[in-house]
Structure 1
Amino acid sequence: MSMSPSARHPHPHSGPRRSPSPAIRPVAAVPVVVSALPPAARAGVAFVAALVVALVAIMGVAGPAAALQIPGVPAQEVTVFENVSVLPMTAEAPANNAVLAGQTVVVEGGRISAMGPAGSVEIPAGARRIDGSGRYLLPGLAEIHAHVPPGQDPPRELVEEYLFLYLANGITTIRGMLGAPYQLELREEIRRGEVLGPRFYVGAPSVNGNTAPTPEAAEALVRAHAEAGYDFLKIHPGVPGESWDRMVEVAREVGITWAGHVPADVGIDHAVATGMSTIDHLDGYLQVTRRDDLADDAPMHEVYAATDPGKLEALTRRLAEAGVWQVPTQYLWNHLNGYVDADSLLALPEFRYISEGQRMGYRNQAEQRRRNPAITPESDQAHRAMRQDFLRATHAAGVPILMGTDSPQLFNVPGFALHREIPLMVDAGMSAYEVLVSGTRAVARYVEEDLGQPGDFGTVAVGMRADLLLVDGNPLEDLARLKDPAGVMAEGRWLPREAIRAGLDTIEAKYAGGN
């Protein structure tokens, strides 16, 4: 069942890229009688409805308007990093040259124009010079399962705050996983340098059991999303099998890939065989790895503890042969299916940077889950252990992994959640270098192979986009050093630590006092 990426899905944008029209209208949801759908599809519709309500509740509440003024260097200015240690991330695995000491790196016009040992690189006159002594320069990180505020016209200041929170945490690339028409223009504004933010790849509005209940509806939806200019299709639960197969046919025809959840009516093996680009949340694993002797009415803690090691090994071997990307989002699912203490989580420092309305949304969701009799401390522990087993087996089999968190879903503050996710990746057996690969060079490969767009980022090399992260000390020795960047560069725009802290202080002040 081995398939190369090109066999799974030809480059979707091999021709001229479609320009989003300013007259884009949202694709209307196809009316559907939920009771007429198969059980798996009904469950998917309920899931998506709950998800959208939760996202709107969490993200749709902004405090008083406040312009976020962040000082930075325009991309057209020349910036030079001097005497810096470089993690080029040009190798799939660490080698003796994983760290290049004493380097000079020149950035001009938003790209790396020169790089080499100190003294061997000419420094342009008038360049801004940054002392890299004792510091390490590596590619900016990617959040490959991100969200920006949903809806047609969310508060602009909230959108810009979320973009900044990603940047403040060293994230220079995001993949938006619940699209809206305004995001298409936002993507272009960021690329033109008019809005400060990470490079933005925009997923289409949800494909699910409600929007694609029939093959005809699926075809219309795919054509509309591709014509609008979205970068890929976002899949949610509930898509019936016949709709899925028609979606695949039309998506191949119009040149767009698909990623996200594995609908229960489709199943992970069929999703992979038909060319799914990324499987997010380790979705579909549970259904095909349970022991055969598990009782139908088993409590959830027994369900989570009933993984058949042989089935899991066979699944991950199939996934590795297919080369399908996995985006685990472990930290999120510890909360979504967890018996969590909202007070303890909300006391974490990153919650200063979101509104009281968002914090209350998180609290309410956590309390609802604790009232669910199926969610207990025992099921919580079993669920976490199961997911770590899934990720451990996935990594051990050589399945390609991409870094993502699903921020700002439950208790996942944009940007900060990535640093909560990383320790779980390490716990599952990934080395520090492998974790960094999942958020840098691997993402560039995904963008090039699966989105059909330039993978000109994710490494520190001449000609690459200047998306860079400067940290104090070697992150290969301690990944926690990524948490407090000395500076972040987004396509040549430099944000030193002082500017990052000023921006965070502005956001914190806005939401202080219950705003």
Structure 2
Amino acid sequence: MKYFYAFCIVLLTAMQGSYSQSKLNPAPDRRPDEGEGPFERLIIRGAIVIDGSGAPPAGPADIVIEGNKIVEIRQVGVPNVPIEDSGRPQGATKEIDANGAYVMPGLINLHAHVGGAAKSPNAEYPYKLWMAHGITTIRGVPAENVGWTQSEKKRSAANEIVAPRIIAFHTMGSGEDWKGGPVYTPAKAQEWVKWAEAQGVEGIKFFNHDPDVLKAAIDAAHENGMGTVAHISQPMVAQTNALDAARLGLDVLTHYYGIFESLYKDEDIQHWPAEFNYNDEQHRFSQVAYQWNKIHPRGSKQWQALIDEFLEHDFILDPTMTAYLAGRDLMRERNAEWHSEYTLPTLWDFYTPNRENHGSYFYNWTSWDETAWRNFYKVWMSFLNDYKNAGGRVTVSDDASFIYNLWGFGYIEEMELLQEAGFHPLEVIRGATLHAAQAIFEPKGKPIEFGVIRPGLLADLVIVDENPIENLKVLYGTGFLKLNDETNQMERVGGVKYTIKDGIIYDAEKLREDIKKMVLDQKNQ
């Protein structure tokens, strides 16, 4: 059997050149038929505005955009009454009829990876998946290597490519031109931070560092106007849990690592099984969930004390629950309805269980594992909701391209998971817009430039015909199946209609057709 398997790999490699591709292709230049604008004066007419601040929807309203900036939001009437033209802004060089549609700020993804080539050989694919779901900004953690990311970041900022704007975070010690070697000391950490800032790096992603090195890097980052985020890996968490990191000045915690460890009641480090090996990813990811009943419970003084101290440090939680969703229901995620049309064969092969690809660890995933993960989610969600209710900020992101988690679609899944946790959809959208923008701009010492619909901010917007407050599922690229009572037939409604970035209007349906064609072309190779 092993020889047959090896033969199949050789055959597939011969059939699809992308399997052997080692470098991620940058996005192609934006074609003349991709996106309209920006315009001297664009007016979106009659929209119901969800401004991203947490305020309730209001409309009909006209939104006036000049170039790449919002200049006015004018309420022009009340529902179910004809709008009087005399009170509306005039002088449009371009209009969008959004009567009855909903407009939100462009969505912000704080945990994004563009690569790598073995999964998706072309950056155009994830970029368009994000844009087709209304995601106009990504924070790469990292997007790709330093040089590649800086190039794509500049091209996106100039709108030379169809892509979200890119905020460039990188792991400490990374960089093709960094000559300083591994970063193991506080002095070396400070040296790398200064080098990275000079390259245009905007923040640091931490995995596994000693506390003194972590502290030195965080301090240096803040001195240079850079942000910090940590995936506190299991090798690191024995020394630095989430509370320790917050006390060291960390800005954002991604995933769940370190939260449960901050609440242990009868142990100081997780009591791993005797056969545990971190490099066996099924060990690594299955055992995480078995912490769910090892901590001080919800409502305890220890639980509340952790929330209070996170608030004291203005700590932001970026949970990426969607990244681990297959753990609690593998069959559901593996058979999600979007995979057939939107998932590349190369990406599907990467997902398929094997011992080498990160996140492809379902070698023998049992009902015991799924039950543990369901219990883990209940506790995790309750902490996130309690933190939000206490005034803490919880943001939205996807960490896609691992564990059957697809770019764009995974982001909307994350929004649904936050609603399951107890967030109102307006709170979910606020986490995806205003709070995410604050996470980007606060370390820079600057006011936000996007993230809410306000005069003076960048024209990054999402237009959808259906009401996302009523049903977040209408934001999926596949839309939502709903019964038409007039025809007595099920029909698909929703899907983002337009994504506007920097005042440039992109037809989201056309973006989705482009993605389907990429998938079909690779299948036909």
Q: What's the TM-score once normalised by structure 2's chain length?
A: 0.76
Q: Which amino acid in 2 is paired with 1:242? A: D
- Return the alpha-carbon distance in structure 2 between the equivalents of residues 86 and 343 of structure 1: 34
Residue 86, structure 1, aligned to residue 49, structure 2: yes
Distance 1:115 1:61 in 2: 44
Tell me if the contact between 2:111 and 2:141 (Cα under 8 Å) persists in the aligned partners: yes
Match of 2:294 among 301, 306, 315: 306
Whether the aligned pair in 1 keeps the contact of 2:106 and 2:462 (CA below 8 Å) is yes
CA-to-partner distance for each residue in 1:455-481, whole Å, 9 max, x for gaps?
A: 121122222211011111332222223
Higher mean displacement: 257-266 or 286-295? 286-295
Residue deviations 1:66-92, cap 9 Å, x none?
998563202245432112222223x4x
* Cα separation, 1, equivalents of 2:94 and 2:410: 32
Asked whether 1:292 is paired with 2:293, we answer: no
Q: Distance in 2 between matches of 1:480 and 1:59?
A: 35
Q: Give the aligned residue type for 1:192.
A: A
Aligned residue among 309, 321, 335 for 1:318 = 309
Aligned position for 2:231: 261
> For 2:49 and 2:461, how far apart are their aligned partners in 1?
10
Aligned to 1:492: 503
Partners of 2:21 and 2:113 in 1: CA distance: 9
Does structure 2 retain, via aligned residues, the 8 Å contact 1:66–1:157?
Answer: no
Give the partner amino acid of 2:241: G
Query: How far off is 1:417 after superposition?
Result: 0.5
Distance 1:252 1:297, change over 3 A: closer
CA gap of 1:452–1:425, structure 2 versus 1, over 3 A, is same
Could you say which residue in structure 2 is the equivalent of 1:187? 153
Partner of 2:369: 376
8 A Cα contact 1:342 1:363, kept in partner: no
Correspondence 1:341-352 to 2 at 5 A = 341=330, 345-350=334-339, 352=341
Partner residue of 2:440? 447
Q: Specify which of 111, 123, 136 is matched with residue 69 of structure 2.
A: 111
1:361 aligns to what? 350
Letter in 1 for 2:186: P
Q: Is the 8 A contact 2:65 2:71 kept in 1?
A: yes
The CA deviation at 1:346 is 4.4
Amino acid at match of 2:417: L
Residue number in structure 1 paired with 2:220:
250
Tell me if the contact between 2:290 and 2:376 (Cα under 8 Å) persists in the aligned partners: no
Give the residue type in structure 1 aligned to 2:442.
E
Q: Which amino acid aligns with 1:203?
A: F
Over residues 23-80 of structure 1, what are the superposed CA-to-partner deviations in whole Å (9 max), with x where a residue is unaligned? xxxxxxxxxxxxxxxxxxxxxxxxxxxxxxxxx99996889x9998563202245432
Q: Distance in 2 between matches of 1:353 and 1:133?
A: 30
Asked if 1:225 is matched to 2:196, the reply is yes
* SS of structure 1 residue aligned to 2:43: strand
- Distance in 2 separating the partners of 1:218 and 1:66: 36
Cα shift at 1:230: 0.5
Instruction: Supply the AA of the counterpart residue of 2:138.
Output: I
* SS of corresponding position for 2:139: strand
Matches within 5 A, 1:228-239: 228-236=199-207, 238-239=208-209
C-alpha deviation, 1:227, in angstroms? 1.7
Are 1:304 and 1:383, in contact at CA under 8 Å, matched by a contact in 2?
yes
How far does the alpha carbon of each residue in 1:198-251 deviate from its partner, in whole angstroms, 9 at most, with x for none?
A: 12111023459x943233432332222122110101111x20122213223433
User: In structure 2, what is the Cα distance between the partners aligned to 1:287 and 1:353?
Assistant: 37
- 1:161 to 2:152 alignment: no
1:380-391 aligned at under 5 Å gives the runs: 380-391=373-384
CA distance in 1, matches of 2:501, 2:446: 18
2:196, 2:370 → 1: CA distance? 42
Counterparts of 2:385 and 2:19, CA distance in 1? 34
Name the count of aligned residue pairs: 446
Contact 1:346 1:359 in 2 (8 A): no
**Range with bigger deviation, 339-348 or 439-448:** 339-348
Does 2:474 align with 1:481?
Answer: yes
Q: Distance in 2 between matches of 1:176 and 1:498?
A: 25
Tell me, yes or no, if the aligned pair for 2:119 and 2:347 is still in contact at 8 Å. Answer: no
2:473 aligned partner, one-letter code: A
SS in 1 for 2:171: coil
Is residue 46–residue 60 contact of structure 2 (8 Å, CA) maintained in 1? yes
8 Å contact 2:172–2:206 — kept in the other structure?
yes
- Aligned partner of 1:405 in structure 2 is 398
Tell me how large the CA RMSD over aligned residues is: 3.3
Pairwise CA distance, 1:136 = 1.1
CA distance in 2, matches of 1:461, 1:77: 18
When the two structures are superposed, what TM-score results if normalisation uses the length of structure 1? 0.78
Larger mean CA deviation between 439-448 and 213-222 belongs to: 213-222
Provide the rounded CA distance (Å) in 2 between the counterparts of 1:382 and 1:128: 52
Q: Partners of 1:322 and 1:58 in 2: how far apart?
A: 46
Amino acid across the alignment from 1:134: G
- Report the Cα distance in structure 1 between the residues aligned to 2:28 and 2:151, rounded to whole angstroms: 22
Q: Could you tell me which of 309, 324, 331 is aligned with 1:333? A: 324
1:200 is matched with which residue?
Answer: 166
Tell me what 1:124 maps to: 91
Kept in 2, the 8 Å contact 1:135–1:474? The answer is yes
Q: Does the residue aligned with 1:458 lie in a helix, a strand or coil?
A: coil
Higher mean C-alpha deviation, range 305-314 or range 488-497: 305-314
Tell me the residue number matched to 1:51.
Answer: none
Q: 1:368 to 1:293 in 2, by over 3 A?
A: closer
Pair 61,257 (structure 1): closer, same or farther in 2 beyond 3 Å:
closer
Q: Is the 8 A contact 2:43 2:63 kept in 1?
A: yes
Partners of 1:194 and 1:276 in 2: CA distance? 34
Q: Corresponding residue for 1:24?
A: none
Q: Evaluate the alpha carbon distance shift between residue 469 and residue 60 of structure 1 in structure 2; reply closer, same or farther with a 3 A threshold.
A: farther
Residue 281 of structure 1: aligned partner: 255
- Once the two structures are TM-superposed, the CA of residue 383 in structure 1 deviates from its matched residue by 2.9
Whether the 8 Å contact between 1:197 and 1:490 is mirrored in structure 2 is no
Query: Aligned equivalents of 1:88 and 1:374: distance in 2?
Result: 42
Cα shift readout 1:164-201 (whole Å, capped 9, x = no counterpart): 11010011111111152211121111111211211211
| Structure 1: unaligned runs, 5 residues or longer | 1-55
Shift of 1:386: 3.3
Structure 2: where are the runs of 5+ without partners?
A: 1-17, 77-84, 175-180, 275-286, 477-494
Deviation at 1:139, TM superposition (A): 0.8
